[in-house]
Amino acid sequence: MTGSYQSVTSLHPEGFLIRTDRHAFTMDNAADGAVPQLDPVFEALQAMETSTVISTDGSLIRLENLEEAIKSTRGRLAPMIEEVPSHLESSFLSMLDQALSEEILTRRAQEEWTFLVGLWNNAEMEKGYFYPGDYAEAVNEFGGITLGFNAAYEYLGEVACNEDDQSLACVEVHFESSIQPEYSEPLTSAIVERLGLSAQADVLVAKDTNVQLITNAKTLSPHKLIKIERVLKVDENYEGWVERINRSQYTYRYQ
């Protein structure tokens, strides 16, 4: 996925307000397992223009103007929805309703904020040491099943914030997680059942996330973020599913 967006931060009675707009994203269809028919969904979700309220201690409080953003996103997706096969229309619309729900959108925003700030806020880490941090996560899009993940954190040391910076004011940190093996089969079954697909019992699903972040050590203002995910996608004929590698890279510039 490639693209760009603008973020503007202003004061708010509860702390700060971060508004994102001017989104321009496109999916990389050359990737293994790419599904061109579903790309408009991923692009539209990524490009939702919302405002985020952040507390003075760096915690995400809530999203604002969600109703307007959801309405706009549905409008952009209307032509694509009309092309969904009739036997999958009900399941697809149900999943889309969940993906555009306040709960799911807030969780996605919380996840992104966690990668950028939450994991590292007030953290004390020793260079080169892996810090384990296993966790559980409910996936409401697929019946509310709870999945367990193995996770680890690592601090790699001080680095330049960008190519023009020589101050070593930033640090590089990594985070990686993967679904615990015993949860792969339940996730596969839930997705197959929800979409009405043919089950493939000999295949297990894994969801892996790898985050590489360069951020200012004092302010936690990000300068570069690379996120690589291995996720499950429906295949181009809507008859099965394939694994897909999603690689997102963000470079942040400040004015």
The packing angle between helices 102-113 and 66-81, to 10°, is 110
212, exposed or middle or buried, with CB in 10 Å at 0-12, 13-18, 19+? middle
Contact call for residues 223 and 161 (beta carbons, < 8 A): yes
What is the structure's pLDDT at 166? 78
pLDDT for 238 equals 46
Nearest to 52 by CA among 27, 20, 26: 20
Domain residue limits at 80: 2-251
Structure tokens at 172: 């590089």
Q: Report residues of the chain scoring pLDDT below 70.
A: 1-3, 22-40, 42, 140-144, 191-192, 194-206, 232-243
Question: Could you tell me the two tokens for 149?
Answer: 């993940």
The confidence score (pLDDT) of residue 203 equals 44
- Measuring CA to CA, which residue among 11, 51, 8, 43 is closest to residue 24? 43
pLDDT of residue 1: 54
Task: State residue 182's pLDDT score.
Answer: 82
Nearest 5°: the CA angle 246, 125, 117 is: 45
The pLDDT of residue 46: 72
Tokens of 198: 């043919």
Tens digit of pLDDT for each residue in 78-98? 888 888 778 777 777 877 887
Q: Model-level pTM?
A: 0.74
pLDDT in tens, 121-135: 988 899 988 898 888
Number of domains in the chain: 1
Is 84:92 a contact under the CB 8 Å cutoff?
yes
CA distances from 8 to 40, 69, 153 (A): 25, 17, 29
CB 203 within 8 A of CB 188: yes
pLDDT for the residue numbered 63: 92
